[in-house]
Amino acid sequence: MKLVLSAGSLYTLPLEKVFEIARDTGFDGMEVIIGYDFQYQDNGALIRDLQTILPICSLHAPFLELDGWGNKIDQLHRTTRLALDTGIPLINFHPPAWMALEFKFWRWFNRVRNFQKEVGQDQILITIENMPCSGAFKLNPYLLGATGAMISFMQERNLYMTFDTAHMGSSKANFLQDFHRFYDSGRMRNIHFSDYGYGREHLLPGHGVLHLTRFLNHLGETGYNEALTLELSPHEFPKEEELIRESMSEIFDYLCQETRF
């Protein structure tokens, strides 16, 4: 199992610094979220510079509006082209949000018959992420909010999965049954790992209400051998770099202890 750090965990720092911290901590690689750093420069050159510090295991397609990146469909295709150009094996994206009235994206999403062929060109693994519930009524504002519907869609359209523990935990603290349903589908290729509690996502393990050590034990029993990607909020870390490094080392030691038997 690869231990990967999402660069979004420390997005308040320059990308190069985040990569250096991850390398020095011992992570096997990085997941890079396509954000504001990718608006006005040679993105291929940026990625290749970062790859000299630590391998990039995956790209996360934008979930913000970025100059020059177009709409959600354009963003997904452009992320794929960037992955192809720089040798990155996997990309992740969010499904359309019905509450945000993403109808054009929704219509395109439902027309794709084979995501690996039509988007990934049979060279890049295309994964979709399960999304969180929010608000007082715990509504999921995204398409495919139900586990069964998401599994059926992925199987019918040859789409793989990034499973997010905090997002799943936003609807049910004990999400292991849903995790096993997703895992047994054979579609899981990446896991975003963090805690959830008190209406907040992407907390450090132990800062929320999820049974994450139990989850890691179950994960080990399945023989999962893909990426476990630590995806935290920067607000979970202190501001000083030395203290950030100490905190990152502590969580990395915990992950090693629970996953590397």
Q: Give how far Cα 231 sits from Cα of 4, 120, 125, 234, Å.
A: 9, 24, 19, 9
Give tens-digit pLDDT for 133-185: 987 678 899 999 999 999 999 999 999 999 999 999 999 888 999 999 999 99
Whole-prediction pTM: 0.96
Give tens-digit pLDDT for 196-243: 999 999 999 999 999 999 999 999 999 999 999 999 999 999 999 999
The predicted structure's pLDDT at residue 99: 80
Structure tokens at 57: 């295991």
Supply the CATH number for residue 14's domain. Answer: 3.20.20.150
By the 8 A CB rule, do 95 and 140 touch?
no
| Structural domain boundaries, residue 236 | 2-259
**Helices 43-51 & 72-86, crossing angle to 10 degrees?**
50
Domain count, the chain: 1
